[in-house]
Amino acid sequence: TEWVVQSESWASTSSFLESLSCLRSSMASLTLRTALGGAGCLAGAAGAIWASGGGQPLWAKQRWPQAGAVPLDGQRQPLIQQDPRSGITAVLATLNYQSGSVASSLLRNGCVGTRRGPDGGDSTLFGVDWAPTAVTIGNARHLPQPPTLDTEGFELRPHDPGAIDFHDEQQIVHRYYREACALVRQATGAAQVVAFDHNVRCASAQAAGTKLKGGNAVQGPAHLVHTDYTVTSAPKRVMDLASPAKLNDTWKPLVPEGQPLISAANAQHVREGGRFAIVNVWRNIRAREVQQFPLAVCRADTVHPEDVMVFEIHYADRVGENYFAKHTPAHAWWYYPKM
């Protein structure tokens, strides 16, 4: 099985913002992603990791419009670029960015967001202004040097977790989390890894209203350019794991009732500026290759502070934060065909 390992955020000094010592170049700690359109099924897990010693890494119902390989403004362009010897080299796809009218922001300002229900679905969006943009997505399998977590902010890794029923919440939490932690530990060399969240995304299952056994509804592909954490929400999310589980926390079955996922010492480590990272892993959950809605990732060092704005997620008992993004020609997008 092939897995995409993708960095969300990292910190290693007393102030998360200060840890981006040169904010422009160090926004490499954020990797934008989206789903390309076309019914692929993907499962993702997020894990917080701690590292000791070593040098600092380089990476540190209105919904959204449909994404897909659709030329804009009547411009007919080749949707697939192919090499006769090696196959697909790139595809032209429409990515859902925010328009230039949406103000950039690194910190929460109440301007853009959603209200999310207990089932994980979004009921209302506010402050968004979609700007579908035609973008060339390169085939990362053809790069002379494979992308790495340290440099580009993402990489492809083989890993065999054995058979897992991804429509059974208990199997995901008790088996998939363990395998995801092993993969992230191998990829990063972290001293400690814990998994704390997941999503199962499948277009056909979402359309059928499928729910995981003992869990949330299956989500559809995320047809928008985003990253899951901000300079504020990343360290807060980790420190929240030192408190008892909240309503939407999927890790509740892993610990005795009322107990936290991580120790107070680990939370203090983050509070005092110790090194940590949040990493996402994504894999196909079907036996056949992904042909539609593959995961697309943007090379992290092509993302700059002025490209993003905070997207607030209002839960029943907390407010989370993502970043949405505006388009810039500097963004370098890649995907792995036929995962």
pLDDT in tens, 1-38: 788 888 875 543 322 222 222 222 233 335 667 665 43
Residues 96-108 have a mean pLDDT of 95
pTM of the model: 0.79
Given a cut of 60, whether residue 246 has pLDDT beyond it is: yes
Q: Where does the pLDDT of residue 75 fall: very low under 50, low under 70, confident under 90, or very high at 90 and above?
A: very low
| Look-up of token digits 């030329």 | 71
Phi, psi dihedral angles at 182 (to 5 degrees):
-60, -40
Please name the residues in contact with 169: beta carbons below 8 A apart, sequence gap of 6 or more: 212, 213, 214, 215, 216, 250
Residues 225-236 have a mean pLDDT of 91
Averaged confidence pLDDT in the chain: 78
Give me the number of domains the chain comprises: 1
Given a cut of 90, whether residue 131 has pLDDT beyond it is: yes
Residue 134's domain comprises 2-335
Q: Where does the pLDDT of residue 125 fall: very low under 50, low under 70, confident under 90, or very high at 90 and above?
A: confident
Are the CB atoms for 307 and 94 separated by under 8 Å?
Answer: no
Please name the residues in contact with 84: beta carbons below 8 A apart, sequence gap of 6 or more: none
Residues 129-158 have a mean pLDDT of 93
Residues 214-225 have a mean pLDDT of 79
